[in-house]
Amino acid sequence: MLAVSTASTLIRLAQAGMDPLAVAAWRLTLASLILLPVALATRREELRGLSRREWGLALGAGALLAVHFATWISSLALTTVAASVVLVSMNPLFVGVISHLFLRERLNRPTAVGLAFALVGSAVIGLGDLGEGHHRFIGDLLALAGGLSGAGYFLIGRRLRQRLSLVGYVFPVYGTAAVLLMITAALARVPLTGYPAVSWLWLFLLAVIPQIVGHSSLNWALRHLTATYVTLSVLGEPIGSTLLAWVFLQEPPTLAAIVGGALILTGIVVAGRGAEG
């Protein structure tokens, strides 16, 4: 959670000189290139042995991840950090319902109560920070689309991670997302080079901290916890992101962010007890 909380601030810093789609494409491309030697050295045979079904699921997860980052990173250029991160973090609502209906993962009472607390907390932050104007409305919709696609990404990961190692899963998924985002950027004629040197520094940090450390940690957890609980834990991201935006972007937290953050933490604790039980 701490690692992924740095994402919105790093994205904003990179966006000072880069197109949002370029930020998304390079985030996944750099992460994939960093993981490439590790995958070839330690998981070559596992990758060769993937079945067609496993490859299909991995490609599907990569496509959803590409949509997730393309929409969410674009939203950060249009609306506030707090509103964007809150809306993209609403995916536990979709994960919980879909997991219960299709993956037969039991939604026990503590998890349901914790989910309710967290969602109410997210709504409090979002409602307190929803901006006015066309561009902020579009940004909010893009963030919500990022939450929807992120839910599908986590659900596929929950299934594949039962059979694949961490690197054996994240490398093809991140790689697929990188290729799709690069193709999309090229078709949209988005410049992929010629940006300031400082933007590349933010991109490198974005690939290492929230992507390789943050997202990979969440994918590691998918083997041991339900998709609902993993995504619920990420609901703490709005708190960390809001604090970082206050320090580095001069976006101080509102009263709604403080109250909502307390509700989110309560929800995580309650749901955590349910998962342990």
Output the DSSP codes for 171-238: HHHHHHHHHHHHHHHHHTT---S---HHHHHHHHHHIIIIIIIIIHHHHHHTTTS-HHHHHHHGGGHH
Low-confidence stretches of the chain (pLDDT < 50) are none
The per-residue pLDDT for 9 is: 92
Give the DSSP letter of residue 4.
Answer: G
**HSE-up of 77 (CA within 13 Å, CB side)?**
16
Amino acid at 277: G
Question: pLDDT digits over 106-146, tens only?
Answer: 777 887 888 888 888 878 877 776 655 677 788 888 998 99
Q: Which residues lie closer than 8 Å to 41 by C-beta, 6 or more apart? A: none
Let me know: does 65 contact 177? Beta carbons within 8 Å.
yes
The per-residue pLDDT for 31 is: 98
The per-residue pLDDT for 131 is: 58
d(CA 143, CA 157): 21
The per-residue pLDDT for 86 is: 81
The per-residue pLDDT for 132 is: 59
| Cα distance between the two ends of the chain | 22
Domain locations in the chain? 4-276
The per-residue pLDDT for 129 is: 64
